[in-house]
Each structure stands twice: as C-alpha cells, then as structure tokens.
Amino acid sequence: MNVQPIKQRFGIIGNSPGLDRAIEIAAQVAPTDLSVLIQGESGSGKEVLPQIVHGYSARKHGPYIAVNCGAIPEGTIDSELFGHEKGSFTGAHEARKGYFEVANGGTIFLDEVGELPLTTQVRLLRVLETGEFIRVGSSKAQKTNVRVVAATNVQMLQAISRGTFREDLYYRLNTVPIQVPPLRDRKEDIHLLFRFFAQDAATKYKAPPLILRDDALQLLTAYRWPGNVRQLRNIVEQMSVIEQTREVDAKTLRQYLPDQSTALVPTGTASGGSGTDSINERELIFKFLFDMKNDLNALKEQVKAITGGQPMAAPIPPVYRDEHLYMPQSMPAPGTVSIIPHNAPDEDIDHTEVEESLSLEEKEKEMIKKALTKHRNKRKNAAAELGISERTLYRKIKEYDIP
C-alpha cells in the first residue's frame, strides 16, 4: 500500500518502516468496525492514527470525538462518557448526554485508556459487547452505534497483572493492535522533523529557519528523545525564539537537552514502552520504605541515648525454680522495643515501650497528607512532589478518605 497520500493528507512527517507499517494497518482496518488499540510512548504521535481510521471509514461523515481519559477526574468520567440524569448527583441540575450518545454513528478516540477506573471499564466493556449504555442515575439502557479507537502509553499486560485494568476489556479493545515506534527508533526521521518544525517556527515568528551543523546533527540523532516528537518540536521552537544565530552547533544544541548521562543511551539498548504508572507506584513505595528505615534508625539513636550507650538486654527467657515455671512480670508487646536499665535485677524490671507503626498504608497516607499540606491542597503539585500521577493521587485520597 502506498501510504504517501495518507501522510500528505494528515501532515505526517517521516519515512521509517515502523511508522509506515502503523499507517498501513490503520488504513486497512478503517473500513471495518473492529476496535483498535494504539500503543506507544507519550509524545510519539498516536493521536493521528485514530483520525486516519475515522477518515477512511464509512463513518467519516459522522462525529469524531477525542477524549483524554487521564484528564477527567474519576468522579465525573462516567457522566462525561455515558451522560447523566437530572438530580443523579450533586450539581446535576439537568440531564446531559455523554460522548457515547453524542458520537452515535461516528468514532470515539479514548486516549490514555489505561487510566480509566475499574468501574468505568465495566461500563465500557458493556458498550463494546452489546452496544448499550446506561446514563448515571438511570435504569434505562440506550443503544449506540460507535466505533471505539483507544490509545495508551501504559504497558497493558503489566496493568492487568497489577489488577488496574480488566483483562477481558483489554482483549476486547485489542482486536487490532497498532504499535507506534518511539522517535529514537526512527533515526532517519529526526532530521526531517527538525527541518519541518524549524520552517514552521520561522513562518510563525517571522525569522529565518534554523540550520543544523554536522556535529549538531550527530548529537540530535544520538539523543534518546524520552519526550519523542513533542520534545523535539518544543526544543526547535525554543531555539527559534532564543538563539540569534541561525546555524546551530552541538554546543548550542546541548544547552537545550537534558543531561547526556541520563538522556543518551547506546544504540540498540533503548526499550519500547514507558511503563510510567508502574515506575511511579514503585518509586512511591520505595520512598515510604526508606522513610520507615530512617524512622527506625532515629529510634535506635534515641534508645542508645536513653541507655547511655549500653547494649539493649536480650528478651528474658522463662526459668524454672523449684520445678515451677516463672515468667518476667512484664513482657514486651509485639512490635515494641523494650529498654532495660543496665544491671537491673531480674525480679523487678521496668520497661519503656516505644511504638512504631510498620503499616505501609499508614506511611503512604501520612506522606500524602504531608504533601497536600505542604502544597496547600494543590493536588497537581502534591502529585509531582510524591512522584506519582495526579489520577493516582486522586485515587489514593479517595481510598484513604483523606479530607
């Protein structure tokens, strides 16, 4: 299949085999009503493929609605997708149609579908299997004829194993999979994209376009591009506005790239897929564990100070006296540290018990509260401080009932 006309129609820049293959699959599946799941890293250009599917389908004259599932709060996403009845919840002053009702006869693009809550996933699965949905606050099922195209930068099989995404929904969405390659796997397209963005910025800002020197081109090609095409475009626009000279060398370009020690990788070692959600969850857990370790170390120092540097006595074993079993008058409770005065007699031992919570959930809740307090309940800033997504923070706040 000749994909060049499709590229021209939708403004796609690049000639890499992986990109051409993704476009070819999108065009071939377009005339059908099969569900499509587009996978690729953030910023790699996944949003153009649903437009190809819609534009080359029999639904091209129907509505096309793109929904960013990760940007809609968990409490309102069901209403956004499926609509609601008047009075179904606080603030529902009138009935409202959802996207699945508005897009009847057309196509819905669900971007970041991996961020959908489990309750919403159940509703979506019903739409895909039966073509029916129910408004929030209603008991009446309604029919809709919608083509669903979904996209995600999440490793879906990992999300399934963690229990955050339904396996049956995954296979229902993944009828036709399309993989969009990251920019680092499209090295032959990097210079083409740079020139296109440079010309576009020159027209926008009324200045001559940027030109790359050979050393800058080598650096540009070797760079890993974790932000993919979006990051490249941002850098070109920054340089177009800031730099006075139009010829860009490696020294100038390097000022706009993150630290090479973390951004550059040897050719062939970069892996596809970001797995951002699982990394953020692990980092948060490790942060809590390190905080617990620091708390325990501080506790040890306090114990050492109280005992005057003397070693803590070992637990007192039971003893037999006159064929009778004797236990110490006070035994430490599980999870406590007993501080025993040095050289104290066995029969009269005073215990100072220091409680230390080892619950990971409590530590997690405590860290979230601290972050919210620090940033005056601004969830976006608190999520950035904790190293998790804003949706994950919203879910944790609801789970722990944090006011």
Average pLDDT taken over every residue of the chain: 82
Model pTM score: 0.64
Q: For the domain 4-181, what is the CATH code?
A: 3.40.50.300
Average pLDDT over residues 78-106: 92
- Split at pLDDT 50, 70, 90, the class of 375 is confident
Cβ contact 189:180 at 8 Å: no
What is the C-alpha separation between 287 and 308, in angstroms, rounded?
32
Identify any residues that bridge with 66 across adjacent strands, giving them in sequence order. Answer: 109
pLDDT digits (tens, 9 = 90+) for 307-353: 665 555 544 454 444 444 444 444 444 444 444 444 444 444 444 44
Per-residue confidence band for 370, with pLDDT thresholds at 50, 70 and 90: confident
Q: Which of 295, 284, 278 is nearest to 367 (CA)?
A: 284
pLDDT of residue 341: 44
Taking residues 49-77, what's their average pLDDT?
Answer: 95
Q: Which residues contact 48 (CB under 8 A, 6 or more apart)?
A: 10, 11, 12
* Domain 276-315+353-403 belongs in CATH node 2.40.10.120: no
CB atoms within 10 A of CB 64: 19
> Cα dist. 175→32, 170, 200, 275, 397 in Å?
11, 9, 37, 22, 35
Burial class of residue 306 in the structure, from the number of CB atoms within 10 Å of its CB (0-12 exposed, 13-18 middle, 19+ buried) = middle
- Per-residue pLDDT at 356 exceeds 60: no
Give mean pLDDT, residues 387-399. 81
Residue 267 tokens read as: 């050719």
Q: How confident is the model at residue 239 (pLDDT cuts 50, 70, 90)?
A: very high
pLDDT for position 353:
45
C-alpha 324: how far from chain center? 63
Domain ranges of the chain: 4-181, 184-263, 276-315+353-403
Higher-confidence residue of 401 and 246: namely 246
- Residue 250, pLDDT > 60, answer yes
Fold category of 184-263 in CATH: Helicase, Ruva Protein; domain 3 (1.10.8)
Three-state SS letters, the chain: CCCHHHHHHHCCCCCCHHHHHHHHHHHHHCCCCCCEEEECCCCCCCCHHHHHHHHCCCCCCCCEEEEEHHHCCCCCHHHHHHCECCCCCCCCCCCECCHHHHCCCCEEEEECHHHCCHHHHHHHHHHHHHCEEECECCCCEEECCCEEEEEECCCHHHHHHHCCCCHHHHHHHCCEEEECCCHHHCHHHHHHHHHHHHHHHHHHHCCCCCEECHHHHHHHHHECCCCHHHHHHHHHHHHHHHCCCCEECHHHHHCCCCCHHHHECCCCCCCCCCCHHHHHHHHHHHHHHHHHHHHHHHHHHHHHHHCCCCCCCCCCCCEEECCEEECCCCCCCCCEEEECCCCCCCCCCCCEEEECCCCHHHHHHHHHHHHHHHCCCCHHHHHHHHCCCHHHHHHHHHHHCCC
| CA gap 28, 172 in Å, rounded | 19
Amino acid at 106: G
Least confident of 124-138, 230-244, 319-333, 387-401: 319-333
Could you tell me which residues come within 8 angstroms of residue 313 by beta carbon, excluding any fewer than 6 positions away? 338, 340, 342
Mean pLDDT of 26-32: 96
| Burial degree of 311 (CB within 10 A; 0-12, 13-18, 19+) | exposed
